[in-house]
Amino acid sequence: MAVHFICPNCGQRTRSVDRTAGFRREPRGCSKCGFGFLFELLDDYYPAPDAAFFVCDRERRVIACGRGSTELTGLGDERVIGRPVGEVLGLQFENGDDHVGTALEWGVRVLDKRVTVNAEGDLPAQATADLFPAYDDDGGLLVVLTPQK
């Protein structure tokens, strides 16, 4: 059975029956841009063209910024990487919910959640958040933010 993958760097979607790179235990990398690992999706997922990608570790720290991240936040990688995603992006979900915590703690996808993004030095913007936990031993999270029109 084929598994769906998405690259947090370029947004390339692929399908494969193998979760690793050949016979090695290393995670699959992106064949289009060469990014070091892909996120596995339970179903195919089609982000909007202007979606911004952020990869976090299990402690919520941003470890990689992908396509659209600078356009959404106005912040370069050097100002984002290593910092908590909620802090650096100023994420405020409706009703004060902590969807980042839910996705990490329970290992579940959280889709289509309205969020206000208030990155440092920027005006607040409305977005839709899709959160995908990493299905490996390292944990982590893919945060996809799509600006609302």
Q: Is 60 exposed, middle or buried (0-12, 13-18, 19+ CB in 10 A)?
A: middle
Is residue 120 pLDDT above 70, yes or no?
Answer: yes
The range of the structural domain enclosing residue 129 comes to 3-147
What is the number of structural domains in the chain? 1
Residues 6-57: pLDDT tens digits? 888 888 888 876 655 555 566 678 889 988 878 887 776 778 889 999 999 9
**Containing H/E element for 112?**
strand 110-117
Tokens of 97: 């919910």
Give φ, ψ of 13 to 5 degrees: -105, 135
**Left, alpha or beta for 106 (phi > 0: left; psi -120 to 50: alpha)?**
alpha
Distance spanning both ends of the chain, measured CA to CA: 37
Give the pLDDT confidence score for residue 22 in this predicted structure: 57
Is 80 exceeded by the pLDDT of residue 3? no
Per the prediction, the chain carries an average pLDDT of 86
**Residue 85 or residue 4, greater confidence:** 85
Cβ atoms < 10 Å from Cβ of 70: 14
Across the range 59-66, mean pLDDT stands at 93
Find the CATH number of the domain harbouring 72: 3.30.450.20
| Beta-bridge partner residues of 16 | 3
CA distances from 4 to 16, 49, 112 (A): 7, 19, 19
Q: Which residues contact 87 (CB under 8 A, 6 or more apart)?
A: none
Q: 83-108: per-residue pLDDT in tens?
A: 999 999 999 999 999 999 999 999 99
- Residues 68-84 have a mean pLDDT of 90
